[in-house]
Amino acid sequence: MNFKINESATKLRGGYYTPEDVARYLAKWVLGIKPRTILEPSCGDGAFIRALKGQHRFRLSFTGVELLNEEARKSRKACKENDLIDGEIVAGDFLDWGLKSIEEGTQFSAILGNPPYIRYQYLAPQDQILSEELFVKFCLAFTKHTNAWVPFVIASVAMLEAGGRLGMVVPAEILHVLHATSLRKFLLTQCSKIVIVDPNELLFDEALQGTVLLMVEKKKKPASASQGVAVLTGSKEDLLCEEPEELFNNAKPVSGDMLNGKWMKVLLTPRELEVFESAKHKKGVRLFRDVASVDVGIVTGANKFFLVNDETVKEYGLKRYAKPMFGRSGHCPGVIYDREGHTNKNEGGTASNFVMIGNVPMEELPEKVQDYIKFGEEQNLHKRYKCRIRSPWYSVPSVYSTEVAMLKRAHNYPRLILNSARAYTTDTAYRIKTVDPSIQPESLVYGFVNSLTALTGELEGRHYGGGVLEMVPSEIEKMLVPIVNISESDLRRLDLLVRSNEAADDVLRAQDKIVLKAAGFTKEEAAILHEAWRRIRSRRLREVHQEKGDSISDE
Ligand SMILES: C[S@@+](CC[C@H](N)C(=O)[O-])C[C@H]1O[C@@H](n2cnc3c(N)ncnc32)[C@H](O)[C@@H]1O
């Protein structure tokens, strides 16, 4: 877990400034409507004020807000250096200023910016309250998982005049994070057209966070329908050399049901989308939730105490209590976790024994085991929240294993693991049970490795800086899985293939030939699904030019 105290001052105020070419591009686009007034909600040292210079011949009134006095001063100086700008820079909190301005009915013809990226827990208590107030004001569902940039964009859009333009640098996660669902809905109700420019390269060297350019035009009539959302991808150089006016006007938006929830499907080409949508109706393809249930793994509350290597088992006489357990892909590099694999792993000193003492009073336990518990208490592990709410603290609840498991995180593609060893899993993995008696666990594990399922993982899952794909149960339930009949040797062969150094692309292509063919896809359709998966996976790993993802193993 990250703590506020460990974060740099720059990160805590979201102080990553916009590169000149990007700021000039967005400025040029909003200037296309000859705005009388421009707002910059968090103007920093004035990147967007400088970006306006030389791009307009008319007077405009510029209002900037910036939390830091020092940076606000730099913005004032930037205003003075542009004779055509009447500038007002407010040194203060935008959420506070914004809510009051919305109340007073203040509006702007255009808005530019790059709002701070600060997680809710790191916000000043006042900003936490103001963020929630803003959501409530516009009847939007609020969550404490929000991040400062979300209320900044909501307030900005609210202050935009009818027909006005907003050009902002925002995190690429706008397309998929759950906490931006309200914002996505708000944009669709308020804007006539939404264009997201999604360059292959990272825009900021300093931040791991992928960013996109958000270009929206506010509806002229509130009741009119939105044209929807377009996402433009390509190299930054190619995208920014196009005239912003043309880029925006030529972008073809998609609308309708596809925009409910996440917007990841907008990244698919029309043909990819057609094949993807038809997949649900193929005879052999099932929705994950119709064939299996997903439950979180075992929450020990202190993995370093409950998950130990053979040496610790020996030292504290824990053999009776040691049960096989896994939770990292290094523990199970293939699709089968069996006794043999478990034993080999332990010989390497891996901590894969779960100390399952159970609800036995301390005094009834052997002395060495008591010593081990005391050793845990010396480290205050019994005071940790998850441990202290149970009695005795070393008795872990909800201990059961399932025949199939799935790691929460993956680099290339998610995979299921046949748990032949009936090992327990930590909360870094899910416990999966087939709910359709006609489907063998082996078939589910086998059918899960293919380009269609991997693509649904990319479209439904989430990822953060660093690119690791993470899936929660409700997202896994929406995945599509072709179900095929297989023999035991088929699964063994797949296990070896996944364990081998074979590139992820080749593993999926080999599986597509069997799994997607059996599910009724043509070769052309399989190739289309594969290419769509490859592109979106590459986007997540931001490696289009480097093509190094295949050498990255799962976490
Ligand atoms: C990502 S930087 C962008 C700065 C500038 N807009 C640019 O594009 O270069 C975000 C800025 O927001 C400022 N900031 C953070 N919290 C703020 C708040 N509550 N109100 C106003 N500004 C804030 C930071 O100090 C920082 O200068």
* 3-state SS record for 344-403: HHHHCCCCCEEECCCCCCHHHCCHHHHHHHHHHHHCCHHHCHHHHCCCCCCCCCCCCCCC
Q: Which of 453, 461, 443, 444 is nearest to 516 (CA)?
A: 453
Question: Would residue 177 be called left, alpha or beta, if left means φ above 0 and alpha means ψ between -120 and 50 degrees?
Answer: beta
Residue 463 buriedness (CB in 10 A; 0-12 / 13-18 / 19+): buried
Q: Tens digit of pLDDT for each residue in 426-467?
A: 999 999 999 999 999 999 999 999 999 999 999 999 987 678
pLDDT at 547: 38
Q: Which residues does ligand 1 sit against, CB inside 6 Å?
A: 13-18, 42-44, 47-48, 65-68, 71, 93-95, 113-114, 116, 127
What whole-number distance in Å separates Cα of residue 418 and Cα of residue 179?
33
Which pLDDT does position 256 carry in this prediction?
86
Query: Which residue, by CA, sits nearest to atom 19 of ligand 1?
Result: 93
pLDDT value for 423: 94
Q: Give residue 42 CA to ligand 1 midpoint distance, Å.
A: 4
Do the beta carbons of residue 288 and residue 480 sit within 8 Å?
yes
Residue 208 CA to ligand 1 center (angstroms) comes to 18
> Which of the listed residues 66, 76, 89, 129 should we mutate to test ligand 1's pocket, taking the one with most ligand atoms within 8 A of CB?
66
pLDDT tens digits for 79-132? 999 999 999 999 999 999 999 999 999 999 999 999 999 999 999 999 999 999
> Which protein residue's CA is at the shortest distance from atom 4 of ligand 1?
44
Is-contact 268 532, C-beta < 8 A? yes
Residue 25's nearest CA partner among 48, 56, 59, 57 is: 48
For all residues of the chain together, what is the average pLDDT?
92
Q: How many angstroms is it from 21 CA to the middle of ligand 1?
A: 19
What spacing in Å lies between the alpha carbon of 67 and ligand 1's midpoint?
Answer: 7
Q: Is residue 143 within 8 Å of 119, Cβ to Cβ?
A: no
- Which ligand 1 atom is nearest residue 68's CA? 25
Residues 237, 268: contact at Cβ < 8 Å? no
Which of these, 515, 530, 524, 537, lies nearest to 286 by C-alpha position?
515
- Expressed in angstroms and rounded, the spacing between residue 113 Cα and the centre of ligand 1 is 9
> If you average pLDDT over residues 256-262, what whole number do you get?
89
Residues 301-314: tens digit of each pLDDT = 999 999 999 999 99
Quick one: what percent of the chain has pLDDT higher than 90? 85
Q: Predicted confidence band at 4 (pLDDT cuts at 50, 70, 90)?
A: low
Q: How confident is the model at residue 163 (pLDDT cuts 50, 70, 90)?
A: very high
Q: How far apart are CA 366 and CA 427, in angstroms?
A: 28
CA of 404 to the centre of ligand 1 (A): 46
pLDDT for 351 equals: 84
Residue 192 confidence (pLDDT): 98
Distance 17 CA to ligand 1 centre (A): 8
Pocket probe mutation, ligand 1, options 16, 45, 67, max atoms within 8 Å of Cβ: 67
Segment 319-342 shows an average pLDDT of: 87
What pLDDT digit, counting tens, does each position of 72-94 carry?
999 999 999 999 999 999 999 99
- Whether the per-residue pLDDT at 342 is higher than 80: the answer is no
Query: Using one digit for the tens of pLDDT, what is the confidence trace for 518-541?
Result: 999 999 999 999 999 999 999 998
The domains of the chain, with CATH numbers, are 4-267 (3.40.50.150), 268-356+396-543 (3.90.220.20)
Q: What is the pTM of this model?
A: 0.87
